[in-house]
Structure 1
Amino acid sequence: MSFPPVRALGRGAGWYRGDCHVHSVHSDGELTPEELALRARDAGLDFIATTEHNSAAAPHTWAHLAADDFLIMLGEEVTTKTGHWLALGITPGQVVDWNHQVRDGLIDRRLDQVHRSGGLCVAAHPHAPYPSGDFMFPLQGFDVVEVWNGLWTSDRPWNADNEAALAEWGRSLATDVRTGSWRPAMGDSDTHLEGQIGIPHTVVFAEELSTRAILAGIRSGRSWIAGSAAVDVSFTAGVDDRLAGVGEQLATHGGRVEVRAAVRGVPAATVSFHTDRGKVHRASLPGDGAAAAQWHTTAEDSAFVRIEVRHPNGQVAALTNPIVLT
């Protein structure tokens, strides 16, 4: 087999952890595909995406590393002069042309090329601190925004560039949710070096462990971002007997909404609840790393709710996409 299969056996419908931005020795990474796959599995990941710069995954490079419990998706980091973006779920051998920039107006053609292949387009590291790293393209046409990128955070899991990307995305939700066109957030390691993979990664609810299902989960926002596999978050909103999870919509019928967040693996964490009014509630969790926090609202007061989980030093440990309230 020349390329990895598009479906793994997996566990059926459920939550899967994956890193959709990794580089090997086939572009500018230091690890071989074999080393990346081994490190990914050791990090507790169920899937990765190959995203070499401006090139397709080579035949016979990744196929032997896939397994019944480990999916390898094909992708590319499209590295342009005015921003980088990820083309995820492209077909074997497909290369998306990187020779475009904001002023030439070609971006829509490139995005359409990926979408026609059933793929997903992700605005990568919007505030990366190097030439071409700042994302200058309009977000229209992109499916997802990478708000947490781990490349420049080897000494700590969060930095000012990610903080800026998160704040920008959070502000956009206030308008985008009301128009029904919000873009989910995701997090990736952007692995180039030893010790980076899975820090952070995206936890996706998918009907199965397949490229199609994983991309569908990411596209719909049925996902949250974790700083490591040690972190686990459950996030729900409910009215009477109706319950919605991350990325879903809850019809409240004017009722009082109970929002609940359960967190494990982040000792002495702080959980903050965010809506279109900004940060609206904050709760401190005990030092054992396993606790829950609740908050109440209505659809009249909150168009959506999302949460951030932070370490005592303010570093983000996890964050979720919103639950939309109607």
Structure 2
Amino acid sequence: MKRTIFLQDENAIWLKGNIHSHSVFSDGDLTPEQMKEAYKHHGYDFLAVTDHDTYTDTRMLTDEKFTMIQGFELWANASNDKDIHVHFLWDDKIDGIEPGQKIHLPVRTGKESIALCYKLREKGCYVMLNHPHWSMLNSSEIEDENPYDAVEIINYGTEWLENTGDGSVFWSEMLYRGCRLWNGGGDDNHNHHELDSMYSDSFGGFTVVKAADRSAKSIMNAMKTGSFYTSTGPSIYDFYVEDDEIHVVCSPCERIFISGHGRPYQRKFGRHVTEFVTKLRGPEKLVRAECMDAAGRSAYTNPIYLD
């Protein structure tokens, strides 16, 4: 039996997007229209404008070749009341959230934050814990039972400008504890500098979904089911388990790592590695892959759960 996280449909398509960005309606310097055109010009297929504590409605910007995902980023708290940022994404409408609405917690505590996350997730939101490294968050500060669908492991803006955007270790620790979480990745761009500047925080971290079509609904269905990978460069074309063998197919890379619920335990190195086939060891509860190219850029699959 073939097991995979990617949508198995001969008509499915790969779509590249940025799910974390900020506009002039919070602390960014570009309008949603300007961001859409910039990302469209760079070969992206979808974009989420996720302003701080504000829902910026961008549905009218969707066209036949580019899709806008809805959402916002909430300044919230962990269970111990340490500051964290939480992402909420959806396709069209969420009951109780109106265009231009300011979303503030009445009391900004860990208990109130988690309650809101559960509430919006039940209404259909995709909930992601953002940039844990930038937030100086320890995985032990997040409960095993939590309201998140995913952890942001690639935050290009904070990684490029502050070297604090890599959340992959945090995600690995959560998986090791038994939490079932997808990964996530985006730019977190604010565009305070020119797009072609060395200080630009755009076009460096992205999510690639395998979806039924270009609609916001299909893109969000792919996100919720894990039918995507996150990347700073490489492409992943397939990842599956069949007949006790793990298969990874990717663009040319130098290193492919296979991990279970802990650290990597199998690997393949070479100058132009595009495929890795290896046997399951037996005790794995899950398998996932990281593909790293010659420039040190990585792409991460979501886990395939084997239990």
Q: Do these two structures clear the TM 0.5 threshold for a shared fold by scoring above it?
A: yes
Partner of 2:12: 13
Instruction: Please state how far the C-alpha of 1:225 moved relative to its aligned partner.
Output: 0.6
- Would you say how many aligned residue pairs link Structure 1 and Structure 2? 278
For residues 280-316 of structure 1, give each alpha carbon's deviation from its aligned partner in whole angstroms, at most 9, with x where no partner exists.
11211324xx621221115x33221111122446x34
Q: Does 1:297 align with 2:280?
A: yes
Distance 1:111 1:134, change over 3 A: same
Partner of 2:298: 317
Q: Is the 8 A contact 1:119 1:215 kept in 2?
A: no
Q: Secondary structure at the match of 1:218?
A: helix
Q: Is the 8 A contact 1:23 1:191 kept in 2?
A: yes
Letter in 1 for 2:104: D
Letter in 1 for 2:120: V
Partner of 2:153: 147
Q: Is the 8 A contact 1:12 1:209 kept in 2?
A: no
Partner of 2:72: 76
Q: Does 1:97 align with 2:93?
A: no
Q: Secondary structure at the match of 2:65?
A: coil
Structure 2 distance, partners of 1:46, 1:121, is 21
Q: Secondary structure at the match of 1:152?
A: helix
Distance 1:31 1:293, change over 3 A: same
Match of 2:270 among 274, 285, 290: 285
Give the RMSD, CA atoms, in angstroms: 2.8
Letter in 1 for 2:224: R
Instruction: Please state how far the C-alpha of 1:99 moved relative to its aligned partner.
Output: 4.9
Structure 1 distance, partners of 2:265, 2:274, is 19
Distance 1:304 1:292, change over 3 A: same
Partner of 1:254: none
Unaligned stretches of 5+ residues in structure 1 = 1-10, 241-256
For residues 23-69 of structure 1, give each alpha carbon's deviation from its aligned partner in whole angstroms, at most 9, with x where no partner exists.
111211122222200121122221111101111215xxx34532112
Structure 1, 107-116 or 68-77: larger mean CA deviation: 107-116
Give runs of aligned pairs for residues 9-48 of structure 1, distance below 5 A.
13-48=12-47
Unaligned stretches of 5+ residues in structure 2 = 1-9, 78-82
Structure 1 distance, partners of 2:262, 2:172, is 10
Q: Percent identity?
A: 22
TM-score by length of 1: 0.75
Partner of 2:190: 192
Distance 1:39 1:80, change over 3 A: same
Partner of 2:133: 127
Structure 2 distance, partners of 1:99, 1:150, is 31
Structure 2 distance, partners of 1:322, 1:116, is 23
Letter in 2 for 1:170: S
Give runs of aligned pairs for residues 108-119 of structure 1, distance below 5 A.
108-119=114-125
Q: Does 1:85 align with 2:78?
A: no
